Amino acid sequence: MVHMRTDIGATNENAHSDNDSYAKELETEVLIVGAGFGGIYLMHKLRELGFKCKIYEAGKVDTMVPIYEYSIEKVWKDWNWSVKYPGYEELREYFVHVEKVLDIKKDTAFETRVVEAKFDKTSSRWIVKTEDGRTARSKYLLLATGFAAKRHFPDWKGLDSYKGEMHHSSFWPEQGVDVKGKRVAVIGTGSTGVQLAQETSKTAGSVTVFQRTPNLALPMRQGSLNAAEQEARRKDPNYPEVYANRMTTFAGFQYDFVKRKTFDDTPEEREKFYEKLWEAGGFEFWLANYDDLLFDKEANDQAYKFWVKKTRARIQDPRKRDILAPLTAPHAWGTKRPSLEQNYYEQLDKPENDVVDVNKTPITEITETGIKTVDGKLREFDVIALATGFDSVTGGMKGMGLKDVDGIDLGEKWKNGTWSYLGMTCNGFPNMFFLYGAQGPTAFSNGPSCVECQGDWIVDAMAKLRKEGITYIDATKEAEESWRKNVTELSDKTLFPGTSSWYMGANIPGKPREQLNYAGGIPLYNKECRESLDNGFAGFITA
């Protein structure tokens, strides 16, 4: 059996004596946890202002370009993408390029897992401990752990007894998995499940997808890009406006909802408009649709009818068609993030592939050879991919031993619900900021747009604290309460609360069901956060 990884071991071949980032006792002004989009952006911006920063990163290192990239000129000016939607490989190459240009590695310790972080009142420092026994002390602690950082493993009977090859989608081996001619099971139909099913079915003997909720996926319309056109576009003096403009849209993409309601158009006009969005591909049918799509049930039904008509036409097998694209919507369309697919439906429609509805026949156990469902049927597999998702949005921060000034663990504080102020700070955690997490625009946004919006606020806040000689900042309990109320009220105006999804925390058993994301869009979010900054840190206690 190939051993399935459930966590990142921290053995450090990376630690070189000439890199003080791995010091047993590290002193720094700013410690950033996480070297993804957020951590790197914060490091770059804070260095420019003369802050001394270090990054702890546990690891080694779906949006259309140029929107899914940094707006930093020296990064984009000599980078070309090969396709509209880059895959994992190309994103890694992009990060290598980013690292070279911004020289991030010299201040980063890789394979470094934080197991405890607490604020020491006497020294006004964060004391952070790592799994392999190192300690860091910093004035500021910035968490950029990402929103899907904590993996969710189902508690099926016999998970350990399986003799074939099993991987959680987030630990998919770097060299890939050889599925040629093999029987593959994909459990879960989130974006990773869809990608895995689509990719493995190219060479696998058979692919069986175990589906709880159909993924109401959209056609990606992948396309290759040529370097000459990209270079010409960057020479245009107005090119940086592409990045500025994305910050003016609801989700930080290059397009936005139209200022029209669904029923303002005649049925013929509506059909034509839907067709146009559908042909454009990507998330346009979701985020450039009528502006009542996510607010009005009747309007939403029209979009679902169009989606279902288009999708069912691609599936010949009537049984599979009803599971993958049911005539009755499983939930309001677009209240779960749709995935982008290229030939997902055609692949699953092939006779050798199958789809199992686990609402009708739940999985009861994993055996040595395969997966057993409640009807007693055992399906045998050579490879099982667990695309069972993440304890999203709050999971990453809850699992790192983060303690408040009174020594209470954040996981304990958030057990019955999530509290933050502005989706970037928490009461009792002074001089700590986080991004791309709970109660920010996180899941309702294009990652890099959210990261830059919040990153710029955090950097501006820290510059202001330094300029005004403030050494201590902590959100008040009242500010947290009113922010939570704000997040809930914005969400309640939409169709989101009616849907069980990871946006609402509903995918993890025992997790409180609540809106985990700010549903007001990036421009309104930015305005509300800036008001606190411009009004002398309203909602904070400073010293």
Per-residue b/e over 199-212, b at no fewer than 16 CB within 10 Å? Answer: bbbeebebbbbbbb
For 359-394, give the DSSP string: TTS-EEEE-SSEEEETTS-EEE-SEEEE---B-TTT
Peptide bond into 86 cis (omega under 30): no
pLDDT in tens, 284-334: 999 999 999 999 999 999 999 999 999 999 999 999 999 999 999 999 999
Whole-number pLDDT of residue 306:
98
pLDDT in tens, 332-361: 999 888 899 999 999 999 999 999 999 999
**First vs last C-alpha separation in the chain:** 57
Whole-number pLDDT of residue 432:
97
| Residue linked to tokens 């947290």 | 480
CATH: 3.40.1160.10, 3.50.50.60, 3.30.70.20, 1.10.287.3510. Which one for 20-150+392-542? 3.50.50.60
pLDDT score of 1 more than 60: no
Q: Are 111 and 21 in contact (CB under 8 A)?
A: no
Whole-number pLDDT of residue 152:
64
Whole-number pLDDT of residue 36:
83
Confidence of residue 367 (pLDDT cuts 50, 70, 90): very high
Q: Which residues make up the CATH 3.50.50.60 domain(s) of the chain?
A: 20-150+392-542
Q: Are 204 and 182 in contact (CB under 8 A)?
A: yes
For 209-241, give the DSSP string: EEESS----EE----B--HHHHHHHHHSTTTTH
pLDDT in tens, 142-165: 999 865 445 667 788 999 999 999
At 393, the amino acid letter reads: V
Share of the chain above pLDDT 70, in %: 89
Whole-number pLDDT of residue 452:
93
Q: pLDDT averaged over the chain?
A: 89
pLDDT in tens, 94-120: 888 998 999 999 999 988 989 999 999
Q: How many CB atoms lie within 10 A of CB 2?
A: 12
Nearest residue to 348 via CA among 222, 220, 214: 214
Nearest residue to 220 via CA among 350, 92, 93, 345: 345
Q: How many CB atoms lie within 10 A of CB 235?
A: 8
Confidence of residue 28 (pLDDT cuts 50, 70, 90): very high
From the number of C-beta atoms within 10 Å of its C-beta (0-12, 13-18, 19+), residue 290 rates as buried
Q: How many CB atoms lie within 10 A of CB 277?
A: 22
Whole-number pLDDT of residue 77:
92
CA–CA distance, 299 with 291 (Å, rounded to integer): 10
CA–CA distance, 24 with 19 (Å, rounded to integer): 11
How big is the chain, counted in residues? Answer: 543
